[in-house]
Copies of this chain bind each other. A is one copy, B any other.
Amino acid sequence: MSEPDPGLLSLNTATVRQQWTLPQIIDGCARHGIRGIAPWRDQVATAGLKETAARIRDAGLVVSGLCRGGMFPATDREGRRAALDDNRRAVDEALALRAQCLVLVVGGLPKSRDGKIESKDLAGAREMVRDGIGELLLYARDAGMPLAIEPLHPMYAADRACVNTMEHANDLCDELGPGLGLAVDAYHVWWDPHLEREIERAGGANPSRLLAYHICDWLVPTTDLLTDRGMMGDGVIDLRLLRSWMEAAGFRGCHEVEIFSANNWWKRDPDEVLATCKARHLECS
């Protein structure tokens, strides 16, 4: 298996969000020769949408995705409508940034307005997700913005995303039709015994559903459910094998590095982090 094309490396801005502002991250990508970026909406809001779009364009960066829409389930109709309104704004922002897709972290069990989980009805949450994506799709299709469901690791089923397997995401794509695809994040799906089959299934759809590919690594031990993700090569995921499956399924898009790491990478010099991302992308992914 050959090394990946360094030109496909993209930086999810969460990777250095503790150290740098979004303008600093954009400049950092340009300085390090990283050709792709995937910003988060809160950072975009802080830096300004137009200013950010212009700065990314000037830096010549590809936007491999905007993070994120989703969070559809809510305990009442108003909460679900508010989520949908916010998702439509996310589509608009993704368009303004010329993002390749809007990434959807679909949400977990229904929460009340103050963020408390109020229900144990997981099947019901999954219906709310299906209905929410279905409604958002009407808007996103008109706008020409692809929506990428990101199946999250099952340890986030309660509070972040109740779509936890590629199969479930593919099933949603089957049901809801065009304009919808997947963001495959190695961290979330590496354990799945059906991973190769479901990547193939997603890539075999017409058009391909493989809209985004996120990489990092699973550390052993993992000390925190949220913020202890590893740099490629520091954990147990066979990232080269996973890339080979993505490529065999026809994926030619960016390899987006997304690392939440409170005790390691978020504490380092961000220039060192970017240089390490570049090196490890070549060596280990």
- Residues of A at under 8 Å CB distance from B? 109, 117, 120-122, 126, 153-155, 157-159, 162, 164-165, 168, 190-193, 218, 220-223, 225, 235-238, 241
CB neighbours (8 Å) of A223 from chain B are: 225
Can you offer 6 A-B residue contacts whose CB atoms are under 8 A?
Answer: A121-B238, A126-B193, A153-B154, A155-B225, A157-B190, A225-B225
- A278, chain B: closest CB distance, angstroms: 22
**Are A191 and B164 CB-contacts (below 8 A) given A154-B153, A238-B122?**
yes
One complex includes copies of this chain to the number of: 2
**Are A220 and B159 CB-contacts (below 8 A) given A154-B153, A193-B168?**
yes
- Give the secondary structure class of A's interface: loop
Residue contact A159 to B221, C-beta cutoff 8 Å:
yes
CB neighbours (8 Å) of A165 from chain B are: 193
Residue contact A120 to B158, C-beta cutoff 8 Å:
no
Distance A117 CA – B223 CA, assembled complex (angstroms): 17
Residue contact A158 to B236, C-beta cutoff 8 Å:
yes
Residue contact B220 to A120, C-beta cutoff 8 Å:
no
Distance A154 CA – B156 CA, assembled complex (angstroms): 11
CB neighbours (8 Å) of A158 from chain B are: 191, 218, 220, 235-236
19 more A-B residue pairs beyond the given contacts A120-B238, A121-B238, with a C-beta to C-beta distance below 8 A: A109-B236, A120-B236, A120-B237, A122-B191, A122-B238, A153-B155, A154-B154, A154-B191, A155-B222, A157-B191, A158-B218, A158-B235, A158-B236, A162-B191, A164-B191, A164-B193, A165-B193, A223-B225, A225-B225
- A15, chain B: closest CB distance, angstroms: 22
Distance A225 CA – B238 CA, assembled complex (angstroms): 22
The residue on B at minimum CB distance from A167 is B193
**Are A225 and B221 CB-contacts (below 8 A) given A122-B191, A164-B191?**
yes
The residue on B at minimum CB distance from A218 is B158
Distance A109 CA – B235 CA, assembled complex (angstroms): 12
